[in-house]
Structure 1
Amino acid sequence: MAYVPAPGYQPTYNPTLPYKKPIPGGLSVGMSVYIQGMASEHMRRFFVNFVMGQDPGADVAFHFNPRFDGWDKVVFNSQQGGKWGSEERKLSMPFSKGKPFELLFTVTAEHYKVIVNGNPFYEFKHRLPLHMVTHLHVDGDLVLQAINFLGGHPTPHQTMEGPPTFNPPVPFKGRLQGGLTARRTIIIKGFVPHHAKRFTINFKVGSSGDVALHINPRMDEGTVVRNSLLNGSWGTEERKMGHNPFGHGQYFDLSIRCGTDRFKVYANGQHLFDYAHRYPAFHKVDMIEIQGDVALSYVQI
């Protein structure tokens, strides 16, 4: 069963290095580039470049370059006509050797805003025209788990559902405007803390309290329970899965797609489970609640 990404959400999972690919639709104000990875145990440096073309000598609008070299720092720069501009530096290292990280670049009219592990880190003022940035180039001492382009230009006949929410607090409550519809996809990205025991994601009917889909990762049991709460009673639990993406200290990327007869759930681009509708009037589902032992990075409903 093929993974279908949500409109305006263009992921690549486990890309190999060096990564140098076009930015879908080009870069524009309001877009974000989200990178999940793992810093090498022997990390010395890596870079993320926003590049103006695919040629080896193409100009670099923004160069982001963490360096472990005795004076741990992050260097920011641009390259034009083969020459580097004036370096900007921050003598702070938000990455840890051998540890997972999430790196978010959000494009504003004035800056590239850099957020690391949910914390604002730096703003780099535009030096070169934003609309000429066409490619993303990543290489160095790291392993990439995912690269996501968020809020870009959806393909024809697609529209974004609602505005994404970055790093929302838990418990989280979100309203599904217009209710749940067939082919609608909900994106939930987050991190499982090292002490986590369990958390829940509920697709609810606000007027009745019914839960059409209850997703309950239980790190203390090593499983993910699915169920429905209808007329005040829980149904039969479903637990069977091919793999479990919810490990302590791990980031996850959930894509929950509503079909006409079932929910189709993918984790990090891989099929996780299907859940046949037990609440046929799924269009009445108008709320999503997330609570428990989880840190949320991004929710798109």
Structure 2
Amino acid sequence: MTYMPAPGYQPVYNPPIPFSNPIYGGLQAGMSVYIQGTIPHHINRFHVNFACGSYDGADIAFHFNPRFDGWDKIVFNSFEGGSWCSEEKKHHMPFSKGEHFELVFIINNDFYQVNVNGAPFYEFRHRIPLERVECLQVEGDVSIQSINFIGGGGGFGGNMGGIGGQGMMQPSYNPGGMPGGMQGGMNMPGFQPGNLPMMGGPATYNPAVPYRSNILGGMTAKRTVVVRGFIPQGANRFHVNFMVGGSREIALHINPRINENCVVRNSFLNGGWGNEERECSYNPFSAGQYFDISVRCGNYRFKVYVNGQHLFNFDHRYREFQRIDTIEIEGDVVLSYVQF
């Protein structure tokens, strides 16, 4: 089952490095770029560029450059008119060799806010106007699990499958089943804009667990909720509940059980649990790994994708699904962000 990202949430999974692709719709204040990956043991340096073009010598509005060179530091800079500008440096290294990381660039009107592993790290003031930024680049000694554009109209355009620059993107998959690059989507046969899943609000970054929030407007048809997080070592289980806030009934209970190597689905209605559903073609949840859950609400069922691949459907047991207005997350999990 093909995964089509919702507007405002444009993921690329396991991209090859070096990575360079145009940003569909351009960069805007209010957007975020979220990168998850791993630092190899042999690292020297890597960089992330917000570039004004994909050609050699293009201006770079923001150059983020961790360097492991015996004087570990992060260098921040811009490149304009064929020359590097004045460097800014921070002699603190938030990345560790052999470890996972999450890196977030929050685009503000006056600066790029850089967060690393859930903590604010640096602010880099704009030297080049945001509207000139056309391309995101990642190069160097780094392995990337996913890159996500959150908010705005941004996503990846360009020649990512022969239909570039036309709007919505969707991941493609290699024969081994692991997510690969991207393909364009707007001009695909049978594509109708009205069929797009929807997301309405901004992302909430690094919320505490237990987490509980109201879903403004409820789970209407085509509504999408994204939960991204990390499963720590020693984790046993966690759950994501979609609930009717007034009655505390659970319309959908998603319960990855790490020790049992399964993902349990159920509902809690009229004071009791229903029949469990456990069948899955694979289990994407394991300790020490990031995950990305995308829950789509349809007229007859929920469709749930993990890391860009369809995991299961869950037929509505609570028929008035529009009254589902609360999300609750508890258990052995560290949340990176939640968006709906």
Query: TM (normalized to structure 1)?
Result: 0.96
Aligned-partner residue type, residue 260 of structure 1: N
Partner of 1:299: 338
Q: How many residues are matched?
A: 301
- The answer to whether structure 1 residue 243 and structure 2 residue 282 are counterparts is yes
Partner of 1:132: 132
Residue 238 of structure 2 is aligned with which of 179, 191, 199? 199
Q: Which piece of structure 1 moves more, 155-164 or 145-154?
A: 155-164
Partner of 1:274: 313
In structure 1, the residue corresponding to 2:24 is in which secondary structure? Answer: coil
Q: In the aligned structure 2, how far is the partner of 1:142 from the partner of 1:27?
A: 24
Cα distance change, pair 151–189 in 1 and its aligned pair in 2 (3 A):
same
Higher relative contact order (CA 8 A, sep 6+): 1
Cα distance change, pair 193–46 in 1 and its aligned pair in 2 (3 A):
same
Partner of 1:152: 152
Check whether the contact 2:242–2:250 (CA below 8 A) recurs between aligned residues. Answer: yes
Q: In the aligned structure 2, how far is the partner of 1:298 from the partner of 1:99?
A: 20
- The answer to whether structure 1 residue 18 and structure 2 residue 18 are counterparts is yes
- The answer to whether structure 1 residue 167 and structure 2 residue 172 are counterparts is no
- The answer to whether structure 1 residue 256 and structure 2 residue 302 are counterparts is no
Q: In the aligned structure 2, how far is the partner of 1:170 from the partner of 1:83?
A: 46
Q: In the aligned structure 1, how far is the partner of 2:117 from the partner of 2:130?
A: 25
Q: In the aligned structure 1, how far is the partner of 2:73 from the partner of 2:213?
A: 38
- The answer to whether structure 1 residue 211 and structure 2 residue 244 are counterparts is no
Partner of 1:97: 97
Check whether the contact 2:199–2:224 (CA below 8 A) recurs between aligned residues. Answer: no
Q: How far 1:4 moved relative to its partner?
A: 1.9
Partner of 1:79: 79
Q: How far 1:175 moved relative to its partner?
A: 0.9
In structure 2, the residue corresponding to 1:55 is in which secondary structure? Answer: coil
1:75-125 alpha-carbon deviations (Å, 9 max, x no partner): 111111111111111111111112111100001111111001101111111
Partner of 2:43: 43
| Unaligned segments of structure 1, at least 5 residues | none
- The answer to whether structure 1 residue 113 and structure 2 residue 113 are counterparts is yes
- The answer to whether structure 1 residue 231 and structure 2 residue 270 are counterparts is yes
Q: Let me know the Cα RMSD of the aligned residues.
A: 1.4
In structure 2, the residue corresponding to 1:23 is in which secondary structure? Answer: strand
Q: In the aligned structure 2, how far is the partner of 1:260 from the partner of 1:134?
A: 38
Partner of 1:182: 221
| Unaligned segments of structure 2, at least 5 residues | 155-166, 168-192
1:37-87 alpha-carbon deviations (Å, 9 max, x no partner): 111121111000000012111001100011111111111111111111111
Moved over 2 A (4+): 154-160
Aligned-partner residue type, residue 88 of structure 1: E
Q: How far 1:160 moved relative to its partner?
A: 4.1
1:5-37 alpha-carbon deviations (Å, 9 max, x no partner): 122111111111111101121011111000111
Q: In the aligned structure 2, how far is the partner of 1:36 from the partner of 1:242?
A: 25
Q: In the aligned structure 2, how far is the partner of 1:109 from the partner of 1:210?
A: 42
1:224-277 alpha-carbon deviations (Å, 9 max, x no partner): 111011101111111111222221111111100011111111111011111111
1:177-236 alpha-carbon deviations (Å, 9 max, x no partner): 222111111000111111321111100111222111000111122211110111011111
Q: In the aligned structure 2, how far is the partner of 1:280 from the partner of 1:7?
A: 26
In structure 2, the residue corresponding to 1:283 is in which secondary structure? Answer: helix
In structure 2, the residue corresponding to 1:34 is in which secondary structure? Answer: strand
Check whether the contact 1:24–1:149 (CA below 8 A) recurs between aligned residues. Answer: no
Q: Which piece of structure 1 moves more, 172-181 or 105-114?
A: 172-181
Query: TM (normalized to structure 2)?
Result: 0.86
Partner of 2:62: 62
Q: In the aligned structure 1, how far is the partner of 2:100 from the partner of 2:13?
A: 15
Q: In the aligned structure 1, how far is the partner of 2:229 from the partner of 2:43?
A: 24
